Amino acid sequence: MASVCEVGGISPFFQVRQTEFGGRGCFSIVQLKKGAVVLEANDSVGACIAHEFRKEVCHSCFSYRNGANMKFKLKYADIAHLLKPGVKISEKAFNGAGLWFCSESCKLEYLTQPHIVELIECYDVLLRTLKIMQKKTADQKQEPDPQVMSAEIIDRAWLEINNSWIPKVERTKPTKRLNELPFIAEEEYNCARFVARTLFSLKHLDPLSKTMTTFWTLQSNELSKISRFPVLLNFQIAVFKSLYVLLPEIIRKDLSTELFRHIMGSEYGNSFGIWEEQKVPENREFLGYSVFPRASYFNHSCDPNITKSRVGRTMLFTLNRDVPKDEPLCIDYSSLLDQPVVQRRQLLRENWFFDCLCGRCILELQTIH
């Protein structure tokens, strides 16, 4: 984990410091007024709209219109002029990369992202593979899922990939590598798209940017999440193998087991849901998720002083009350604030893998003991 100075300078309103209960958190560095936006994050590193919602969500502005299909699907003609050396997209095989938009202008805006055709090639090959896999019906499980998990078991599984599987693939002729492809279903596909987007972002981000430096210092929850759901180890390995076999070289060359584990481990505790906008939590659709490294130092509080909201692709972090200097700035991870303390803490433990030590929990725990 990085030292504090490596994650400073995210906002003029707060600093990242060590908290009393361990880990880092955000603290106000000046007195702040209710309504102040302490962070505006539009620098997502990885994001994924669930396959289920692919036609119903605009991939540029993330708008969703009560389940209506978006009218503008990506076509080969839209990208033909963007093709460049190292990117091979055949007109005949092109599937639209699973990208739909609410308007021509949103589509154009998406296509103006530098080098975006590299990502479109990745998305399209993953989508083509999912469609082929969906035609297979037999039980495709290759490895039995482990029952008990530990850091050693996880490390050993990845060592095996590094020492045995990758060298084997590298010795295999490119035309035969598809034989190494594991079975993937929709969940693996969603995850593969998320990782592909992250690899693409990292490839083109300024290495000295705050987004990049904070990405490398994100807390990983790999062990706690896989310990709770051991099936995730084989799931992740299947995603890794699929990406290794399928991704075009221009993106795949940066894929290593170490980077993959950091992307997956940090995604678990640091991603923000892409929820339908302007609806109460109980009635919102969960459309996908996104990682904003600069916004990942906000701890949870059951009495949060920050309200998070999404406007298009941007996350806003707005103070919901006046805050003095040196106060922790916290958001609500859970939408469970009306639950009693014991249930709240249990749900946070089960879903977010930590025992909540916020001021409200500590106070309420004292009253029940």
Ligand X SMILES: C[S@@+](CC[C@H](N)C(=O)[O-])C[C@H]1O[C@@H](n2cnc3c(N)ncnc32)[C@H](O)[C@@H]1O
Chain contacts with ligand X (rule: CB under 6 A): 21, 23-25, 219, 221, 269-270, 296-297, 299-301, 352-354, 356-358
- Coil, helix or strand for 361? helix
Give the Cα-Cα-Cα angle 270, 271, 275 (nearest 5 degrees): 145
What strands, in cross-sheet order, belong to the sheet with 37-41? 37-41, 314-319, 306-311
- Shortest spacing between CB 174 and ligand X, in angstroms: 40
- What is the spatial distance between Cα 214 and Cα 8, in angstroms, rounded to a whole number? 9
Residue that has been written with the tokens 């593969």 in this structure = 192
| Pick 165 or 353: Cβ nearer ligand X | 353
> Closest residue (Cβ) to ligand X?
23
The nearer residue to ligand X, 70 or 356, going by C-beta atoms, is 356
Residues in Cβ contact with 256 at an 8 Å cutoff, skipping those fewer than 6 apart: none
Quick one: 240 or 289, whose CB is closer to ligand X? 289
Q: Are 73 and 59 in contact (CB under 8 A)?
A: no
- State how far the Cα of 50 lies from the Cα of 187, in Å rounded to an integer: 9
Q: State the minimum distance, in angstroms, from the CB of residue 209 to ligand X.
A: 19
Q: How far is the CB of 102 from ligand X (least distance, A)?
A: 30
By beta-carbon proximity to ligand X, the closer residue of 13 and 297 is 297
State the nearest-atom distance from the C-beta of 156 to ligand X, in Å.
25
Q: How far is the CB of 21 from ligand X (least distance, A)?
A: 5
Which residue, 227 or 270, is less far from ligand X as judged by CB?
Answer: 270
Distance CA 104, CA 124 (A): 20
Cβ proximity to ligand X: between 95 and 301 the closer is 301
- Of 323 and 358, the one with the shorter C-beta distance to ligand X is 358
Q: Cβ 225 to ligand X, closest distance in Å?
A: 10
Nearest distance in Å: CB 11, ligand X: 15
Cα angle 277, 263, 58; round to 5:
30
- Least CB distance to ligand X at residue 270 (A): 5
Angle between helices 186-204 and 116-134 (to 10 degrees): 170
CB of 291 to ligand X, least distance (A): 10
Residues with Cβ within 8 Å of residue 134, at least 6 apart in sequence:
185
326 membership: H or E segment, kind and range: none
Strands (E) located in the chain: 14-18, 24-28, 37-41, 46-49, 72-73, 100-101, 271-275, 286-291, 299-300, 306-311, 314-319, 328-331
Minimum CB distance to ligand X smaller for 235 or for 354: 354
Our CB check for ligand X shows the closer of 190 and 299 to be 299
3-class secondary structure, 7: helix
